[in-house]
């Protein structure tokens, strides 16, 4: 008989995971001075499709909450090699997520930010597949995050393209 799990404790795990991810993500954004208050970022030309500044905080709070619920759903499953791999993938993409704001906003590194987003998207796709195989709802909860990362990648790229010479550590990927 397959091992079962108790979803009654899932919501306790989810509340802790979601709160932790939201708090850490928010603190990293504050420490790296991300967003419209960053002196380096303010004068840059912005893509026409860039959402208003307030939308980023709202969207990231929702996405981080969904990520926490997805992670909790996987944590609530019986231990297995597949579960372990799924969680390693999740943590790896989350680490890149947390690294992006300090790289892009804190460091003014547009090209490096683009590389991080591309790696994050690749890891997230692997995470979604791994989560989906264990618990489809957990994988589905990450799909809006994947869509948002697509927008973030486009914004990162266009910011570099519209502002040649603005990258503080150019790698020759975007702009001149």
Domain count of the fold of the chain:
1
Task: Say what the pLDDT of residue 1 is.
Answer: 39
Whether 14 is in a domain gets the answer: no
DSSP one-letter code for 150: H
Tens of pLDDT, residue by residue over 1-52, are: 345 566 778 888 888 988 999 899 888 877 777 655 568 888 999 999 999 9
Domain extent, residue 135, equals 54-166
| 109 backbone φψ class: left, alpha, beta (φ>0; ψ -120 to 50) | beta
The arithmetic mean of pLDDT across residues 74-84, rounded, is 96
61 within a domain of the structure (yes/no): yes
| 16 token code pair | 């802790």
Is residue 172 included in any domain, yes or no? no
111 part of a folded domain? yes
Name which of 152, 176, 174, 168 is nearest 47 in CA terms. Answer: 152
Instruction: Name the band, by pLDDT with cuts 50, 70 and 90, for residue 131.
Output: very high
Task: Count the neighbouring beta carbons within 10 Å of the beta carbon of residue 60.
Answer: 21
Burial pattern 146-171, b for ≥16 Cβ within 10 A else e, equals eebbeebbebbbbbbeebeebbeebe
* Long-range contacts at 143-152 (CB < 8 A, ≥ 24 apart): 144/62, 144/63, 144/66, 145/63, 145/66, 145/67, 146/121, 148/59, 148/63, 149/117, 149/120, 149/121, 149/124, 150/121, 151/49, 151/51, 152/100, 152/117
Specify the pTM. 0.90
Asked whether residue 32 is assigned to any structural domain, the reply reads no
pLDDT tens-digit readout, 80-130: 999 999 999 999 999 999 999 999 988 999 999 999 999 999 999 999 999
In a domain, 17, yes or no: no
Q: Using alpha carbons, list the distances in angstroms from residue 77 to 90, 93, 152, 167.
A: 15, 20, 31, 44
Q: Which residue has the higher pLDDT, 133 or 32?
A: 133
Res 30: pLDDT:
76
Tell me the CATH number at 108.
Answer: 1.20.1260.100
Average pLDDT over residues 130-141: 97
Residue 142 belongs to a domain = yes
What pLDDT sits at residue 176? 55
Torsion on CA atoms 17, 27, 89, 104, rounded to nearest 10 = 160
């Amino acid at each position: 008989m397959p091992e079962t799990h108790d979803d009654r404790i899932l919501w306790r795990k989810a509340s802790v995971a979601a709160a932790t991810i939201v708090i850490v993500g928010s603190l990293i954004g504050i420490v790296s001075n991300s967003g419209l208050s960053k002196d380096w970022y303010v004068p840059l030309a912005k893509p026409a499709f860039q959402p208003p500044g307030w939308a980023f905080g709202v969207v990231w709070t929702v996405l981080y909450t969904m990520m926490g619920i997805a992670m909790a759903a996987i944590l609530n499953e019986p231990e297995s090699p597949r579960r372990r791999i799924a969680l390693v993938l999740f943590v790896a993409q989350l680490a890149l997520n947390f690294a992006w704001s300090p790289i892009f906003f804190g460091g003014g590194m547009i090209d490096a930010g683009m590389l991080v987003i591309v790696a994050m998207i690749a890891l997230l796709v692997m995470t979604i597949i791994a989560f989906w195989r264990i618990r489809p709802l957990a994988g589905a909860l990450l799909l809006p995050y994947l869509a948002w990362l697509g927008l973030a990648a486009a914004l990162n790229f266009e910011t570099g393209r519209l502002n040649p010479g603005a990258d503080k550590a150019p790698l020759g990927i975007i702009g001149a």
